[in-house]
């Protein structure tokens, strides 16, 4: 079949038109937003808009972002590293390369943040909740966990069951990695974390205090005492500190567990142990009023940066679970592990392997010269006994008569006393009534009619002399 000269000329013109159209479309391709679904732009401003900060080029370089969109952080790391071998570098591969050059996965701080302990074959974390780790191998592979954590920081989307993104949940890891990877960490898009900022503003912490309620014979978990941390502000009075928050680690025991099952479960690690933030006055009332336990408070000698780091790590641990053991991995052991992020190069918790007793942890803090001051808070029973000892025999009989017959029956007898002595009797009656009420109803709050009547009668009476109070606390 033959074509005329006119037909051949038209065909050549059409071919040139197609080539020219293709060239124009190709030149416009980088400007089309949907075209970047698989390939980042050379312009970092476009990448920032599209959430692909720090990458340039085409092809396989953005495949790690596809894995990231499904929250498969291990896969994202593998793709980024594989692409880097073919000179197709990415933001993630640059971060991983610098982290590996610095051997950050071997750093004591990384091990402290992940609660790793050395084993015969490597390391193993004491944390038992899988959602604490960003890598499927994170519990036993410090390097894989570090790589996956860097990958997770690129996405603002949380991975179930967590509500917050890794960037906003693991704030201590992020802070430390940013300080170590100063040349490349800004490749990670910045996220706003309002919950963490609210947490910091609410605590407004300046210092930490270790609180040690003494032993409680009716509880196997507290047979040697208990320890918790109180978050304090500067220049607070002892009464103001009652309104502060405390950091408590304890076993989560289901309701209805029998004493035998409770003991067996605590000895064998059957219960999960968790960190909780609780109002300190509630814990103190539990120890002082209900359990009749004396309490020692040890103000810790910490720098502001150390306090900030410990509270950042506390925020991370609020979603973690540990197997709880009465005598080894208990409250004192894990509180030392929490404090160890401020002393990663010389950790304290690793001194204890077979058992951990609260008194021994306090000795460690004293040896490290980390205790700035101590305060003794007597139990309700000890306070009552001291009040009784401060009364004469006649005043003791009057206090008993007031308890048994009521305030109205002894009004004239109380008025006959010197103001200071009447105040002592009324304080004893009020404290006794409150002690009995709280022992009978643990959740009781406020004042009952008797306590209000005593306080109204007490109003205008002088306070007890400071020397007597010092004697009671002695």
Q: Report, as an integer, the average pLDDT of 378-386.
A: 88
From-to residues of CATH 3.90.1720 in the chain: 205-377
Q: Are 145 and 134 in contact (CB under 8 A)?
A: yes
Comparison of pLDDT for 253 and 308, the residue scoring more: 308
The 10s digit of each residue's pLDDT in 121-155 is 899 999 999 999 999 999 999 999 999 999 999 99
pLDDT > 60? residue 202: yes
276 phi/psi in degrees, rounded to 5:
-140, 145
Assign 3-class secondary structure to the chain. CCCCHHHHHHHHHHHHHHHHHHHHHHHHHHHCHHHHHCCCCCCHHHHHHCCCCCCCCCHHHHHHHHHHHCCCHHHHHHHHHHHHHCCCCCHHHHHHHHHHHCCHHHCHHHHHHHCEEEECCEEEECECCHHHCCCCCCCCCHHHHHHHHHHHCCCCCCCCCCCCCHHHHCHHHHHHHHHHCCCCHHHCCCCCCHHHHHHHHHHCCCEEEEEEECCCCCCHHHECECCEEEEECCCCCCCHHHHCEEEEEEECCCCCCCHHHHHHHHHHCCEEEEEEEEEHHHHHHHHHHHCCCCEEEEEECCCHHHHHHHHHHHHHHCCCCEEECCCCCCHHHHHHHHHHHHCCCCCCHHHCCCCCCHHHHHHHHHHCCCEEEEEEECCHHHHHHHHHHHCCHHHHHHHHHHHHHCCHHHHHHHHCCCHHHHHHHHHHHHHHHHHHHHHHCCCCCCCCHHHHHHHHHHCCCCCCCHHHHHHHHC
The 10s digit of each residue's pLDDT in 251-307 is 998 888 888 888 888 888 889 999 999 999 888 888 777 677 888 999 999 999 999
pLDDT > 70? residue 41: no
At residue 198, the pLDDT reads 97
Q: Are 83 and 75 in contact (CB under 8 A)?
A: no
At residue 463, the pLDDT reads 44
pLDDT > 80? residue 76: yes
Kindly report the average pLDDT of the chain as a whole number: 82
pLDDT > 90? residue 173: yes
| Distance between CA atoms of residues 306 and 233, nearest Å | 15
What is the band of 413 on the pLDDT scale with cuts at 50, 70, 90?
A: confident
At residue 87, the pLDDT reads 67
| Distance between CA atoms of residues 91 and 108, nearest Å | 25
Q: Report, as an integer, the average pLDDT of 87-110.
A: 93
CATH number given to 205-377:
3.90.1720
Comparison of pLDDT for 385 and 174, the residue scoring more: 174
What is the band of 444 on the pLDDT scale with cuts at 50, 70, 90?
A: low
pLDDT > 90? residue 47: no
């Amino acid at each position: 079949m033959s074509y005329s000269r006119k037909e051949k000329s038209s065909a050549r013109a059409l071919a040139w038109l197609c080539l020219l159209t293709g060239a124009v479309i190709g030149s416009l391709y980088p400007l089309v937003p949907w075209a970047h679904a698989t390939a980042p732009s050379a312009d970092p401003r476009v990448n920032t808009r599209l959430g692909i900060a720090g990458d340039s080029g085409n092809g396989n370089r953005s495949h790690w972002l596809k894995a990231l969109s499904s929250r498969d952080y291990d896969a994202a790391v593998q793709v980024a590293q594989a692409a880097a071998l073919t000179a197709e570098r990415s933001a993630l591969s640059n971060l991983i390369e610098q982290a590996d050059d610095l051997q950050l996965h071997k750093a004591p701080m990384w091990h402290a943040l992940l609660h790793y302990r050395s084993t015969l074959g490597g390391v193993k974390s004491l944390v038992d909740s899988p959602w604490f780790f960003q890598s499927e191998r994170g519990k036993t592979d410090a390097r894989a966990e570090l790589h996956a954590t860097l990958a997770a920081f690129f996405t603002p989307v949380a991975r179930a069951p967590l509500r917050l993104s890794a960037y906003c949940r693991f704030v201590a890891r992020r802070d430390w990695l940013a300080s170590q990877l100063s040349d490349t960490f800004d490749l990670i898009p910045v996220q706003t974390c309002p919950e963490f900022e609210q947490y910091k503003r609410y605590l407004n912490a300046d210092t930490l205090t270790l609180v040690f309620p003494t032993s409680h014979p009716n509880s196997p978990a507290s047979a040697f005492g208990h320890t918790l941390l109180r978050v304090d502000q500067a220049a607070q009075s002892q009464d103001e500190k009652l309104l502060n928050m405390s950091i408590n680690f304890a076993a989560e025991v289901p309701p209805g567990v029998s004493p035998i099952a409770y003991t067996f479960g605590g000895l064998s690690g059957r219960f999960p142990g968790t960190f909780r933030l609780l109002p300190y006055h509630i814990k103190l009332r539990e120890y002082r009023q209900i359990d009749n336990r004396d309490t020692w408070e040890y103000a810790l000698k910490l720098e502001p940066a150390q306090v900030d780091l410990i509270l950042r790590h506390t925020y991370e641990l609020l979603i973690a679970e540990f197997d709880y053991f009465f005598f080894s991995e208990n409250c004192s052991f894990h509180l030392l592990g929490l404090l160890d992020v401020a002393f990663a190069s010389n950790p304290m918790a690793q001194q204890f392997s077979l058992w951990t007793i609260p008194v021994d942890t306090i000795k460690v803090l004293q040896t490290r010269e980390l205790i700035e001051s101590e305060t003794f808070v007597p139990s309700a029973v000890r306070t009552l006994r001291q009040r009784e000892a401060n009364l004469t025999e006649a005043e003791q009989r009057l206090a008993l008569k007031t308890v048994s017959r009521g305030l109205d029956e002894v009004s004239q007898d109380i008025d006959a006393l010197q103001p200071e002595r009447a105040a002592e009797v009324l304080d004893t009656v009020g404290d006794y009534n409150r002690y009995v009420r709280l022992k009978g109803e643990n959740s009781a709050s406020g004042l009952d009619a008797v306590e209000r009547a005593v306080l109204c009668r007490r109003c205008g009476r002088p306070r007890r002399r400071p020397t007597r109070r010092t004697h009671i606390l002695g």
